[in-house]
Structure 1
């Protein structure tokens, strides 16, 4: 590209969009890349502060910002997402379905360390809805070396930076535990909370039983639920270290693989997650899920709905950001809670 005085630009081709900003009125391009400048355009260009402009000079060693932005988009895109129109070297990725956004943090960091380009996204492992903005890409200068873009492409040669895993319909089972509920001493206020949270997703509760603090009965209940077709089993209560709290033992005795009993999250430290036969989650939910606005259950549930298996290492990473501040006005997930993994 070549810098020239605006008054001398008649007949030249713009190599970038020219944006006009009027507070409270507009922020948009008055001229687009590729526009051939006319005599009538000169006063308009001067009115938006362009005493000098860049015009396009063909050079096979460089790429225009829009061409380079397309390369960044290709490095990011995956199934179930589409691009916005390219504008001023920027392309955004938009979700095509409800699902779980996954981000390859190492690749993202490498691209953003290259210089002269950027990709900004939502946090990974967060739920999104169809139409939500997932990420934005941009080239910083108006032009960039072609060989630099070729080098950065190699970072994503094996797989793109982003993945959007669609949510799947689940057949859920709720196992309510506790002598106090089983014998009618108190009302079961836990199950309605679980039903409400499951209702945020495409779920059908096909099994619900209440048991006293008998670990064998709870074990048998979990297995009966799976036999009935449940692909998600949720056990409520009985998760502390009191003598009558038998849920962790009951889940273990199903033969499920215990991924973790305990998580660095408040509320939710006594949470248990396991997988029966490798693919059916059996969860043990502590009492805080019944009364706290947001807990470990809210962090894990989207991953379960997307069939995205949770690991012990990932749970350990939740310590940073794992403290819910219990704000009077809850704005989750648009806050820092649970952004550690």
Structure 2
């Protein structure tokens, strides 16, 4: 592509690099320069404009953006119509966004003329939400350059894993001093968290803070109530793998896969399973509606995505979230409150 000042009498058919207004004549940036507008600009006293001229093998910005965006659109993602060198990608369904960062980085590294931006990987998204955008910087790019970016994008498809689990069972353990209203509020907040995913609480149990009670309730929620994901809110935070909540999961025939994670708020979260039903030991901060590490794990599991130890330990960079002021043990220390730290 050639770019620069062009005599007006040679500008017809080229692309205007900048908007120009002279008397009643208006030439808009990025639009093709028509013979009519050339005549009107000349009549207004102009002699040249800055324009772009495509060369053989070049692709216009809209066509280039559209081709790359369609290459990137994976399952559950739609590419929109291109405009001004941009083509946006949208979630076709609610779920969790999956992005191959290495592939996106490779596509962006091909040339400064070609850019791809996405939401963070594993971000919960709603149907119709923009999840990525392709922007071509100049008015055209060489076709060979775009081919290189498209080759890189072959390993960078962006998709949305739809929510699959919908029947949530909840166990709340009780100790003196834990108000029933706190448990009620916790369940309301969880229901609000679940609503955008299409999931709901199918059954809940309130039991003493003891391993045997946790085990019996967990088994009942899964075997009798048909829960396909279980969440356990402890009256006291989990302090060790031998504590009440993990012991109760194991006594019910389940397993503890990981305890603790490098996300704050959310450090004291447990991930496990009973059979093929995921089990989350919720941190105290999950009683708050504010984003915390519980959200990161919950949404992945609801979308049927595994949450492994490797996934959890990778949360650390970016895992320092906004402080929840009412936590009993904020980062800076302070007085205790009703809920346990998490």
Normalised by the shorter chain, which TM-score bucket? 0.7 to 0.9
Is 1:163–2:159 an aligned residue pair? yes
Per the alignment, residue 149 of structure 1 pairs with: 146
Structure 1, 66-75 or 187-196: larger mean CA deviation: 187-196
Deviation at 1:292, TM superposition (A): 7.1
For 1:97-153, what per-residue CA distance to the aligned partner results, in whole angstroms no more than 9, with x for missing partners? 222111111111111111131101111111122222111112233332322322332
SS in 2 for 1:225: helix
Tell me: CA distance 1:145–1:291, structure 2 relative to 1, closer, same or farther (3 Å).
Answer: closer
Per the alignment, residue 283 of structure 1 pairs with: 280
Partner Cα distance (2:246, 2:47) in 1: 68
Aligned residues: 313
Partner Cα distance (1:121, 1:21) in 2: 33
Q: 1:229 is matched with which residue: 219, 226, 229?
A: 226
Q: Is the 8 A contact 1:6 1:53 kept in 2?
A: no
Deviation at 1:18, TM superposition (A): 5.2
Partner Cα distance (1:152, 1:194) in 2: 47
Tell me: CA distance 1:155–1:40, structure 2 relative to 1, closer, same or farther (3 Å).
Answer: closer
Q: 2:251 is matched with which residue: 239, 250, 253?
A: 253
Tell me: CA distance 1:42–1:198, structure 2 relative to 1, closer, same or farther (3 Å).
Answer: farther
Per the alignment, residue 212 of structure 1 pairs with: 208
Per the alignment, residue 52 of structure 2 pairs with: 54
Deviation at 1:6, TM superposition (A): 4.2
Is 1:269–2:267 an aligned residue pair? yes
SS in 2 for 1:297: helix
Deviation at 1:256, TM superposition (A): 2.9
For 1:279-311, what per-residue CA distance to the aligned partner results, in whole angstroms no more than 9, with x for missing partners? x21111122322573321122222122222211
For 1:156-190, what per-residue CA distance to the aligned partner results, in whole angstroms no more than 9, with x for missing partners? 33x54311122245111110113327xxx732513
Tell me: CA distance 1:21–1:7, structure 2 relative to 1, closer, same or farther (3 Å).
Answer: closer
Partner Cα distance (1:140, 1:256) in 2: 54
Is 1:190–2:186 an aligned residue pair? no
Q: 1:313 is matched with which residue: 299, 302, 310?
A: 310
- How high is the TM-score relative to the length of structure 1? 0.80
Note the aligned Cα RMSD (angstroms): 3.2
- How high is the TM-score relative to the length of structure 2? 0.79
Deviation at 1:41, TM superposition (A): 4.1
Per the alignment, residue 9 of structure 2 pairs with: 8
Partner Cα distance (2:221, 2:47) in 1: 69
Per the alignment, residue 175 of structure 1 pairs with: 171
Q: Is the 8 A contact 1:89 1:142 kept in 2?
A: yes
Q: Is the 8 A contact 1:6 1:42 kept in 2?
A: no
Deviation at 1:246, TM superposition (A): 0.5
Per the alignment, residue 332 of structure 2 pairs with: none
For 1:38-67, what per-residue CA distance to the aligned partner results, in whole angstroms no more than 9, with x for missing partners? 14345569999972312344x1x3333223
Tell me: CA distance 1:312–1:186, structure 2 relative to 1, closer, same or farther (3 Å).
Answer: same
SS in 1 for 2:186: helix
For 1:21-48, what per-residue CA distance to the aligned partner results, in whole angstroms no more than 9, with x for missing partners? 99xxxxx983665x46214345569999
SS in 2 for 1:189: helix
Q: 2:123 is matched with which residue: 111, 121, 126?
A: 126
SS in 2 for 1:5: strand
Structure 1, 95-104 or 138-147: larger mean CA deviation: 138-147
Structure 1, 143-152 or 308-317: larger mean CA deviation: 143-152
Deviation at 1:254, TM superposition (A): 2.9
